[in-house]
Chains A and B, each alone.
Chain A
Amino acid sequence: MANQSKRAIVVIQLAGANDALNTVVPYTNGLYYDFRPHISIAPEAVLPLDAHYGFHPEMGPVKALWDQGKVALINGIGYPNPDRSHFRSMDIWHTAEPTKIGTEGWLGRAIRELDPQGGNVLTGVHFGRGLPRSLACKGVPVASVGNLATYGVFPDLKDEARRLDALETFSQMYGGAQGRDVVLDVLGQNGRDALKGADILKTAPARYTSTVQYEANPIAQSLKSMAQVMFADLGTQLYYTLYGSFDTHGGELIAHAKLWQQVAGAVGSFYADLVEHGRENDTLIFIWTEFGRRIRDNGTGTDHGSGGTAFVIGGAVNGGMYGEYPSLKPEEQLNGDLHYNNDFRSTYATMLERWLGIPAAPIVNGHFEQFDFVSQ
């Protein structure tokens, strides 16, 4: 087993709710074609995983990893009493708290466990603006990097000499503790932390070399930034980004295909980069979405449903299907949706305990059966 402190989880949130049925297509099930008269994927178009299920045709790079046994598919993932509101459902996934309004993000708690002293301001890094609730936890510093190339103070100053001069002044203004005023001292410490984080992060792109080409789209570029930070060995263990919108109420065939072409391509490039740098066995890629979509299509798209699909990808992953593929039989549906059959906190707990080696119960608010997609 690799040294656990080098182990990382890369989280990709498919925002807007990815349609599970058109992602892992039950291409030999007549009910699927009955319920999806307008937006089904034809049997001959899917990338077959076995005699029953196949990936969306644009998921080639993920299919290639599946063929190598590097992809765990978690079918029928969800939580009791599914909520069809994006916001509420995302909150539930972010805070691992399905019954009341949670305040701490599960990854924020994980960071606190991994780095209790808060010694590394970069243990968790979000590639995007603001802080996803998964990472939010009081007293846990997380860097949110909108753009790695310009991250830091005064990114709007384009003239480099002027920016450096302004940064120098900023650094002086936030210099040593005054010891006179608690509030100003705390502000000063945070200003210095922000500069320190930016100074460390900006070294990453310069140190990065790779033969892997990433596409120009935002998700591919976010994963490239992650690779740069990861290979710079800054001690980051949790990487986060989100992409979308997968909220395909209309025009699903076109939009969903483009989204998966981008996400699958980005994951393929990133995995190749991991292999090139010998990091594929230290990294899990976890892809989740807040719920699946309605079984019956609405003419051009699908409305909100439940019972989704999640992915765990990595060199150390025991590839295959986990969780039962939910039934499409009308009597086994949940109000027209896929029935969930495994709690998302089982997947969280597996990654936390078996991969990161930290106790899961206090983070996910309870004990949940774990999967075998990674070994103990």
Chain B
Amino acid sequence: MSQQDIALMAHLLRRAGFGATREELETCVAKGYDAVVEALLHPTEAQCMPDDVIRRYHTDMAELRELNSVGAYWMYRMITTSCPLEEKLALFWHGLFATGYSKLNQARSLLNQIEMFRHHGLGSFATLLVELSKDPAMIIWLDNNDNHKEAINENYGRELLELFSMGIGHYSEQDIKECARAFTGWTLGNAEYMAVRASKDSIWPYSRIAWHFDYRDHDHDDGEKTFLGQTGRFNGADIVNIIVQREETARFLSTRLFQFFAADEVDDAGKPVIDAMMQTYFDSGYEIRAMLRTLFRSAYFRSEQARFTRVKGPVELVIGAVRLAGSYCQPTFGADQLARHTMYMGQGLFQPPSVEGWHEGLEWVDSGTLLERVNFVASELGNVSNPGVRNIINRLAAEDGGTFTPEALVDRCLDLLGPFQVAEDTHTALVGFVARQGAVHLQGHQPGDATEQLVGDVLRLATATREFQLA
């Protein structure tokens, strides 16, 4: 098992998941890269912390009335799932189709939307867009319940084209109106009932059960429409069918997937990969699974130049650190704090700053959010009682008699945390830190003793580096 294989697998699992421990990497390398890609692309029966366990320990996550409880409920799944791409991709769709709690006051419908992403997130983009158009949380978020035969509301029609499929500049204002007309009658089945509840229960104006979709033929404008040059008595699904055939849509989706899974910035070497993803999109009948396969198996993605070219998003950073530290894999008091932490870092789940979702890449980082990122990760990886940290210590203790020069200890920690490399100055600073503490003998180490603390401090500092902010 070569160091290169480990590094490549670590890269794949950082991008297609939330990173991996060394033990997980070794298991995956033994399976082979292509087999792991296929396993990620075919999430079946994900193993994760069961609902009944979560609810037994966290009554707030049974009730789902509090925003951070809802976020943490999803985060438990990200932390414990055996199918990480399923959750990572749901996070991608949550960013692209960003729907917020602020307008809904309804956690159940938001979680149903995430579940819909799990079901359809790897399938046909056409199906996904139709399901999205039927999604009750989306219908409220972009006002399609106010889109009527006699009085259209353009909000959903516009964003479907601008933010969810083709991107601005590829359609006219008239196309937006025609698109909105086609989605008249796509509404909520139980809105009236929920409104009655709202008048009686103002803290939860839409009550605590979920909305459901209803198609109302009598409120649908069945007249002729001309959309992107085609004419017919189009309904919503016909509009989606026209949208997905457009090259702009293929480019939009391929680029967004590339930026989320491959690199924040598209460079010259990345462009042909996007072209290949677009080709796959059409060849496969708009299948997202096939597009991701093209990406993950591309020479570009596997090359060293694709590594550490993304700034980790806050959720990705927190889940990655927790999975590495081995914390929160059992119900843990205060788990809702996890959701608060990502909010402090600028990404509260179900709290997108606008309908556009989050601005990613370097925009994640300012001096305030960097402080939150560093402090959270450092407190997880610097805590020598966390199971994942104990694993690293035990692993080190079994190597070379457990005795390390400062340089060797730093290098082993960087390896087991990634592997990743740091700039020369950073490396010098880390080695200097260890050298000031004296010799490192892990032989006969006891939980929490000074030598273990030293290793914990190296892990803390290594994960506080600029380089660790990158995936």
**Which A residues fall within an 8 A CB radius of B?**
84-85, 87-88, 91, 101, 103, 121, 129-131, 136, 138, 141-144, 152-157, 162, 165-166, 168-170, 172-176, 178, 183-184, 186-188, 190-191, 193-194, 197-198, 247, 249, 294, 303-304
Given known contacts A156-B382, A188-B466, A194 and B368 CB-to-CB distance under 8 angstroms: yes
Residue B150 CB within 8 A of the other chain: no
Query: In the complex, how many angstroms separate the beta carbon of A181 from the nearest chain B beta carbon?
Result: 8
Query: Nearest residue in A to B453 (C-beta to C-beta)?
Result: A162
Given known contacts A101-B354, A165-B436, A173 and B429 CB-to-CB distance under 8 angstroms: yes
Q: How far is the CA of A1 from the CA of B40 in the complex (A)?
A: 67
Interface string of B98-120 (1 = CB under 8 A from A): 00011101000000000000000
Residue B89 CB within 8 A of the other chain: no
Question: CB distance A304 to B203 under 8 Å?
Answer: yes
Given known contacts A87-B101, A130-B340, A155-B375, A190 and B461 CB-to-CB distance under 8 angstroms: no
B205 CB contact (under 8 Å) in A84, A186, A187: A84
6 additional contacts (CB under 8 A) given A101-B354, A169-B429: A131-B346, A154-B374, A156-B379, A166-B460, A169-B432, A303-B202
Residue B144 CB within 8 A of the other chain: no
B103 CB contact (under 8 Å) in A85, A153, A294: A85
Query: Nearest residue in A to B141 (C-beta to C-beta)?
Result: A101
**Can you report 25 A-B residue pairs in the complex whose CB atoms are below 8 A from each other?**
A101-B354, A101-B355, A131-B344, A142-B368, A144-B344, A144-B368, A153-B374, A154-B374, A154-B464, A155-B375, A156-B379, A162-B457, A166-B457, A166-B461, A169-B430, A169-B461, A172-B432, A173-B425, A173-B465, A176-B425, A178-B425, A183-B362, A187-B365, A191-B367, A198-B371
Query: In the complex, how many angstroms separate the beta carbon of B407 from the nearest chain A beta carbon?
Result: 15
Query: In the complex, how many angstroms separate the beta carbon of B373 from the nearest chain A beta carbon?
Result: 10
Question: CB distance B466 to A173 under 8 Å?
Answer: yes
Interface of chain B, helix or strand or loop or mixed? helix
Residue B335 CB within 8 A of the other chain: no
Question: CB distance B202 to A191 under 8 Å?
Answer: no
Residue B366 CB within 8 A of the other chain: yes
**Which B residues fall within an 8 A CB radius of A?**
101-103, 105, 202-203, 205, 311, 340, 343-344, 346, 353-355, 359, 362-363, 365-368, 370-372, 374-375, 378-379, 382, 422-423, 425-426, 428-430, 432-433, 436, 453, 457, 460-461, 464-467, 469-470
B370 CB contact (under 8 Å) in A183, A190, A303, A304: A190
Query: In the complex, how many angstroms separate the beta carbon of B374 from the nearest chain A beta carbon?
Result: 6
Task: Tell me which residues across on chain A come within 8 A of B457, comparing CB atoms.
Answer: 162, 166
Query: Nearest residue in B to A189 (C-beta to C-beta)?
Result: B367
Task: Tell me which residues across on chain A come within 8 A of B359, comparing CB atoms.
Answer: 138
A170 CB contact (under 8 Å) in B203, B432, B464: B464
A166 CB contact (under 8 Å) in B365, B426, B433, B466: B433
Given known contacts A173-B425, A191-B370, A186 and B362 CB-to-CB distance under 8 angstroms: yes
Query: Nearest residue in B to A85 (C-beta to C-beta)?
Result: B105
Query: In the complex, how many angstroms separate the beta carbon of B53 from the nearest chain A beta carbon?
Result: 28
Q: How far is the CA of A178 from the CA of B427 in the complex (A)?
A: 13
Query: Nearest residue in A to B363 (C-beta to C-beta)?
Result: A138
A131 CB contact (under 8 Å) in B363, B368, B470: B368
A187 CB contact (under 8 Å) in B378, B430, B466: B466
Query: Nearest residue in B to A191 (C-beta to C-beta)?
Result: B370
Question: CB distance B461 to A170 under 8 Å?
Answer: yes
Task: Tell me which residues across on chain B come within 8 A of A144, comparing CB atoms.
Answer: 344, 368
Q: How far is the CA of A303 from the CA of B199 in the complex (A)?
A: 10
